[in-house]
Amino acid sequence: MERVGRAVRSGNTASVWRGGLRACAFGLLGALGALVSGCGTFVETRTPAQVIKVTPADGAKRVEAGEKLRVSVVDGTLKRVRVTLRSKGARHGLPGRVSADGRTWLPQASHRRLKLGSKYAVDVVAEDADGRRSARHTTFTTKPQPRRVIGFFTPEHRQTVGTGMILSIKFNRPIEERAAVERAVRVTAKPSVRVAPHWFGNSRLDFRPAEFWKPGTRVTLDLRLRGVRVAPSVYGVQRKRVHFTVGRDQRTVVDAGRHMMTVQRDGAVVSRVPVTAGSSKNRTYEGHMVISEKFDVTRMNARTVGFGGEYDIEDVPHAMRLTESGTFLHGNYWAPRRTFGRANVSHGCIGLHDKKGGDPRSAAGAFYRSSLVGDVVTVRNSGERTVAPGNGLSGWNMQWREWTAGSALD
C-alpha cells in the first residue's frame, strides 16, 4: 500500500514522500532560466535572441543605407532565413546565401546596400547539435529616402569640342562634403595630361588642364556619385561615364578698340571680320571666354540681364554664349552695315553683320558654322575689367596655382 506523507514547502521547492521514496520536483526558476531534467539536474536554456544574432538590431529605426545586414548563430546551424522588405507599398524578398558552415547568412552582393525608406523583416530558424530548434523574428526600418543630388555636366556625351573646353558640373543642391564628391568624380585624358578640379562656390565643380587641350585628346568623365553622402541626408544618385573628344584648335581674338575679330585655326589666320562690341556705357568683358552654347536663333531680352526694357529681340541669329551673365557673340541685322568695324554700340555683346532670319553666307553665319562649343574667344582693348573665372567657362583667366588651390583635396 502506497503511503503518502505530508508535503513540506520551502520557496519554489516541494518535497513529497511517495511509497517511502523521495521524488524531486522543481518549478520554473524564471530568474535562472532553468528547467527540470531528472532529479535535481538543471539544463541551461537560452532565448532565441541569445542563439540567433541579427544586425541591424530588432526594432532599430533610421538605419543607414551602408549598415550591414547579417544573420548568424552562436552554435548550431541556420535552417531557414527569410528577409522581406516593404518599400513604396510593395513587398520584396531579399536574396541571400548561408555560409558553407551553416552559421552565417548574408545578402547577395548586389543587395548588400540597404534600401532607404523601407521596413525589413527577418525570420530565422536555427537548430543546435541536439536537434533543438529556435526561431526568431526581427524588424528594422531604414532612414527615409534622402534628398538627392544630381550633377548636370558640360559638354555632352560624345561631343566634339574646342581646345578651350572646361568640363563643368553644376549640382542641384549645395555640396557640404566637397572632398567626398571630388573623390567620386574622376576626369582622365588620352594622351595623358593632369586635369585639376576647382570649386566655384558650393554647387559647381570645374575641371581643366594647365594649358589648352591638344587636338585629338579623348577625355573621360567618370561620375561615381551614387550613394555618396554630400550633405546631411543628401546623397548622390548618379553612376555615369561620359566621353568627349577635342577637335581642331580654333582661337579667336576680338580687338574691341579696333572693332576687329581675328580667327586662327591650328596656328594660321583664316579670317579677319569687322565687329561691333560693347559701347562706352556697357563695355565688353576682357579676357578669355569659351563658347558654351550655340543657338541658330534665340531671344534676347534686356530685362533678363539687368538692362530694363532697353531691348527685346526675339530672333537673334547665330548666337553663341560666352558668359552666364549674358555676353554673346552673335549675328546682328538691326545695326547699319557701316557700324561693323567702325563703332561699338552693343550692350556688351560682340556683333557680326547678318541678315534677319540668319544668312549662312554672312560673316556671322560663316563664323557660327566654323565654331565649336569649347572654342576660346579672347577680348582685348575694351576698357572693361577681366571677366570673372566663374562667369561662364572663363577659368582660363585664373593662374594654374590659383586654379589647383580651389580643390577640396589639396
Domain boundaries, the chain: 8-44, 49-141, 148-247, 250-397
**Residue whose C-alpha is closest to residue 346's, from 379, 395, 368:** 379
The predicted pLDDT at position 47 comes to 87
Q: What is the pLDDT averaged over residues 74-98?
A: 89
Alpha carbon distance 290, 163 (integer Å):
10
Residue 307 contacts by C-beta under 8 Å, 6 or more apart in sequence?
A: 282, 347
pLDDT band at 89 (very low <50, low <70, confident <90, very high): low
Residue 50 has pLDDT above 60, yes or no: yes
State the Cα angle at 345 between 253 and 327, rounded to 5°.
55
Instruction: Confirm whether 49-141 and 148-247 share one CATH topology.
Output: yes
- Whether the upstream peptide bond of residue 56 has omega within 30° of 0, thus cis, is yes
Give the rounded percent of residues in the chain with a pLDDT score beyond 70: 88
- The confidence score (pLDDT) of residue 233 equals 84
pLDDT (average), residues 274-295: 97
pLDDT tier for residue 22 given thresholds of 50, 70 and 90:
very low
CB atoms within 10 A of CB 111: 16
| CATH class entry, domain 49-141 | mainly beta
Taking residues 173-178, what's their average pLDDT? 96
Judged by average pLDDT, the poorest of 8-22, 298-312, 329-343, 362-376 is: 8-22
The full DSSP string for 153-203 is EES-TTEEE-TT--EEEEESS--S-HHHHHHHEEEEEES----EEEESTTS
Options 1.10.10.10, 3.40.50.20, 2.40.440.10, 3.90.1150.10; CATH of 250-397: 2.40.440.10
pLDDT digits (tens, 9 = 90+) for 143-167: 887 688 989 999 999 999 999 999 9
More confident residue, 4 or 193: 193
Q: Is the pLDDT of residue 258 over 90?
A: yes
Residues annotated catalytic, as ranges: 330, 349
Mapping DSSP to helix (H, G, I), strand (E, B) and coil, where does residue 363 land? helix
Identify which has the larger pLDDT, 89 or 402.
Answer: 402
Q: Mean pLDDT across the stretch 343-364?
A: 95
Give the span between the Cα atoms of 353 and 367, in whole angstroms: 11
Instruction: Work out the average pLDDT over 361-378.
Output: 97
As a whole number, the mean pLDDT across the chain is 88
Gap between the Cα atoms of 378 and 388, Å rounded: 13
The pLDDT of residue 44 is 60
Burial of 327 (0-12, 13-18, 19+ CB in 10 A): buried
Regarding pTM above 0.85, the answer is no
Reply yes or no on whether the pLDDT at 2 is more than 60.
Answer: no
Q: Residue 406: which of 221, 198, 258 has the closest Cα? A: 198
Across residues 300-308, what is the average pLDDT? 78
- Side-chain-side CA neighbours of residue 141 (13 Å): 11
pLDDT by residue (tens digit) across 224-251?
Answer: 999 899 999 899 989 999 999 999 999 9
**For residue 410, what pLDDT is reported?**
67
pLDDT of 213 over the 90 cut: yes
Q: What is the per-residue pLDDT for 132?
A: 87
Domain 148-247 CATH class label: mainly beta
Helix (H, G, I), strand (E, B) or coil at 264: strand
Q: Which pLDDT score is estimated for 313?
A: 87
- Res. 8: pLDDT tops 60: no
In which band, very low, low, confident or very high, does the pLDDT at 130 lie, cut at 50, 70 and 90?
confident
